Structure 1
Amino acid sequence: MSQQPIDTRRRTLIAGGAAVAASPFMFNIARAQGANIKIGFPVPLTGAFSAEAQDQVRAAEIAIKDFNDAGGFGGRKAELLVRDDKLNPGEAATRTLELIEKDKVNFIVGSLSAATQLSINAVARDRKVLFNSISQSDAINEAKDWSLYTFHEALNPHLTAGAVARYAFPKFGKRIVYLTADYAYGHEMVRGFQRAGAPLGATTLADIRHPLGVADYSAFLPRIQALKPDVLVLCNFGRDLVNSAKQVTDFGLKASTKVIAPVLLYTSRQAGGADAFEGIIGGTSYYWGMEDKIPAAKAFNDKFRKAHGGAVPSDYGALGYAGVRSVLQAVLNAKSTDSMPVSIALRQLKYNWYKGDQFYRKCDHQSVQSVIIVESKSKNMKDKYDVFNVLSIEDANEANLRSCDEMGHKIST
């Protein structure tokens, strides 16, 4: 995407000693009436997911501008404090602790990886600071990691993989091989496919796992070819998705096997190109091309285009926008910047920021939303942003989520 890189220097913490825990009284003074409403935003600005994180920041800043241009909260303006979590759980926890205890943020929104969001959540939860995660995860909604301060704006792997499986397996075949990034995101996606595929008669021939950030997939490809699957599922993300898609294409696997992905990233498609991704089908939380049929998408896209030289937002960028805007709307609804009343207001929020109607499920604070099934284009593209065809939209439906009881929640929805 033709956008300027995020200037991380102005958001980088001055190196120094460890953060000193502050008392609730000190927190209240720092967050007194009249001060800016501070939203901490830890995301991996460096590393394998940096392109997606940069777009999350760009879109989140639009949500801040929307809020401020509308007058803020009683004249109080919002401020985004971006930190680089470096795609490392320990770094993510450290940055979150500093945001809460040193910078005195009111809320945390962010994370782009299942590898970091649980550590961010643990820090925020223990300090009773609301956290709205914008990264796919099944675990963050489970009772063992959840709290009244934990919200999940992103899709989760159970929902995403389930939607893609329900679309793809009946059409392309039921003998499945998974090429899986060996961490929580990959594992949870495979589980989602297998659960949705079982009633469809799908069979797992192999779940082949690779390290996060591997560059060479050549050792895996002959084994995949020998298994003769109907469908190969690329359960990886970011640069891993780009590299595996290119090498699968070069190896010729597409001649006999349909290649799909749980999350077909806009940024990955842009980086990998039309040839590498030709014919690959996957799910996404958002595609800018929905604007022809969804007015909220058009409004969001136009604001992003204006701010970024005509470029369009990515799927994960849109999550940055929605995650921040939802929290700020809850501030207005609660008439407070304290995490508990804002949490109560967020639980009650029904919203349509960019893709259609959404709401947070009461028992676990998962955003209930649609899943878009897209196919990568290599022909008839109107411009460089026109990379997907929208094949289907699975409407928002609580029935497609794991039950509250299964996740350890005793509260009925």
Structure 2
Amino acid sequence: MADETGRSGAFSRRGLLQGGALALAAPALMRRAWAQGAGPIRIGFPVPLTGAFGAEANDQVRAAQIAVKEFNAAGGLDGRMAELLVRDDKLNPGEAATRTLELIEKDKVNFLVGALSAAVTLSVNNVARERGVLYNSISQSDAINEAKDFGRTTFHEALNPHMTAGAVGRYVFPKHGKRVAFLTADYAYGHEMVRGFRRAGEALGIEVVADIRHPIGASDYSAFLPRLAALKPDVLCLCNFGRDQVVSIQQATEFGLKRTTKLVAPVLLFTARKAGGDAFEGVVGGTSYYWRLEDSVPTAKAFNDAFRAAYNGAVPSDYGALGYAGVRSVLESVKAAKSTDTDKVIAAMEALRADFYKGPQYFRACDHQSVQSVLIVESKHKDQKGPDDVFTIVGTEQPDEARLRTCAELGHKA
């Protein structure tokens, strides 16, 4: 055997010392390489895998994995691959803060995407903002755009209640009447949706006859429905989510409210509609995405096909699509920045003009709110072409900053 000088025989002392030095230095070299961007691109993804919104959260994970897969298949960032680190926030702000801190401090994530509750998303954002980690929220929230909760690392991929309820109200109130009642989940999401409806309704002359609050996870609405029926509203807005939406619509239908009242949900969930069945017939609501967009939007067809191929022919839900978009916005910005440096990726996201899956969208400068379309859908159970053909798209509000609350109103300085 030859040593490094070319002589035969045992290892030289010099070679042994060099090898030992390299071995001892390896951990330090690895840490330095990681800091310089040689490791995987890690995206923390806290969502409520367990709890009332579990069906929606699990679909977010599935769709987010599509975005990671596409990024990696295209070569990543000069060979650096992306990883999705999923954590269960249990629909609890305290749990979400703990999991987010672990993702940042222990798992060393580069970026954060996720959440599925207005309260939880603020908790995640607070931790991320304090530690300078970019967070792209995929939960509906008005507060996250306001100056008191916003930070330069804060982005909001999802629609917000002002946009969603406003679009639905502008469609519903002129068609179905001005006496309006609310059945409202008693937390930030419900409250903000009511505010959005009220604001849109002011210009249309609506009369609010009641705003009845219920706790998250309610299983019996029988105490509320007679009170609502006695008020004879033209429109009942069910400002709730997930299983709450399924149960309240089923019980309102069984009670016979549809005979006199139009049932409306600001966010009409694909998962809720499939779980609720025929009780949803005729219910109108808003959504950020419905898979039948593929009939007119090429990027929706491409996204749906990728999801079908990965998950045995299934189609993505509305909140699933947000999981895809939230991760893809970050990874496309990483590509544009040619870096995982937070400042460079923030600048790239601010400049992003994209059509990933539903048509054009971009982030508004002052509050990093995604400006995008709002779809108005009506639930059907007749003439379905398959089990996933549950909605008809009856209207679309195109992307328009004029539909958002102004930057000044949100507390942002010019």
Same fold (TM over 0.5): yes
The 5 A counterparts of 1:190-209 are 190-209=194-213
| 2:149 matched residue in structure 1 | 145
8 A Cα contact 1:113 1:135, kept in partner: yes
CA distance in 2, matches of 1:215, 1:131: 34
CA distance in 2, matches of 1:111, 1:352: 23
CA distance in 2, matches of 1:189, 1:279: 20
Is residue 303 of structure 2 the alignment partner of residue 293 of structure 1?
no
Match of 1:228 among 226, 232, 240: 232
Deviations 1:85-122 (A, max 9, x none): 00000000000000000000000000011020001000
Match of 1:174 among 173, 178, 190: 178
| 1:87 matched residue in structure 2 | 91
Q: CA deviation at 1:33?
A: 2.2
Q: CA deviation at 1:30?
A: 4.4
8 A Cα contact 2:190 2:240, kept in partner: yes
8 A Cα contact 2:157 2:326, kept in partner: yes
CA distance in 2, matches of 1:390, 1:332: 34
CA distance in 1, matches of 2:60, 2:35: 25
CA distance in 1, matches of 2:175, 2:31: 56
Q: CA deviation at 1:276?
A: 1.1
AA matched with 1:45: L
| 2:389 matched residue in structure 1 | 386
Deviations 1:207-255 (A, max 9, x none): 0000011110000000000000000000000000000000000000000
| 2:353 matched residue in structure 1 | 350
Match of 2:104 among 97, 100, 104: 100
AA matched with 2:293: M
SS at match of 1:391: strand
CA distance in 2, matches of 1:27, 1:225: 65
CA distance in 2, matches of 1:242, 1:31: 47
Match of 2:369 among 366, 369, 374: 366
| 1:119 matched residue in structure 2 | 123
8 A Cα contact 1:238 1:268, kept in partner: yes
Deviations 1:181-203 (A, max 9, x none): 00000000000000000010011
Structure 2 portions without partners, runs of 5+: 1-29
| 2:330 matched residue in structure 1 | 327
CA distance in 2, matches of 1:103, 1:203: 52
CA distance in 2, matches of 1:257, 1:30: 60
Q: CA deviation at 1:32?
A: 3.3
Identity level (%): 70
Q: Which runs of 4+ in 1 moved over 6 A?
A: 26-29
Deviations 1:61-107 (A, max 9, x none): 00000100000001000000000000000000000000000000000
AA matched with 1:169: F
Deviations 1:32-61 (A, max 9, x none): 322000000000000000000000000000
Deviations 1:352-375 (A, max 9, x none): 110000000000000000000000
CA distance in 2, matches of 1:250, 1:299: 39
Is residue 54 of structure 2 the alignment partner of residue 53 of structure 1?
no
Going from structure 1 to structure 2, the CA distance change for 1:28 and 1:180 (only over 3 Å counts) comes to farther
Going from structure 1 to structure 2, the CA distance change for 1:314 and 1:27 (only over 3 Å counts) comes to farther
8 A Cα contact 2:299 2:356, kept in partner: yes
CA distance in 1, matches of 2:393, 2:218: 30
CA distance in 2, matches of 1:117, 1:378: 34
Structure 1 portions without partners, runs of 5+: 1-25
Higher-Rg member (1/2): 2
| 1:259 matched residue in structure 2 | 263
8 A Cα contact 1:180 1:236, kept in partner: yes
CA distance in 2, matches of 1:229, 1:93: 41
SS at match of 1:386: coil
| 1:7 matched residue in structure 2 | none
Deviations 1:280-336 (A, max 9, x none): 000000000110111010000000000000000000000000000000011111111
AA matched with 1:363: C
The 5 A counterparts of 1:32-71 are 32-71=36-75
Going from structure 1 to structure 2, the CA distance change for 1:28 and 1:219 (only over 3 Å counts) comes to farther
SS at match of 2:169: helix
CA distance in 2, matches of 1:141, 1:86: 24
CA distance in 2, matches of 1:41, 1:177: 36
CA RMSD of aligned residues (A): 1.1
8 A Cα contact 2:37 2:340, kept in partner: no
8 A Cα contact 2:33 2:39, kept in partner: no
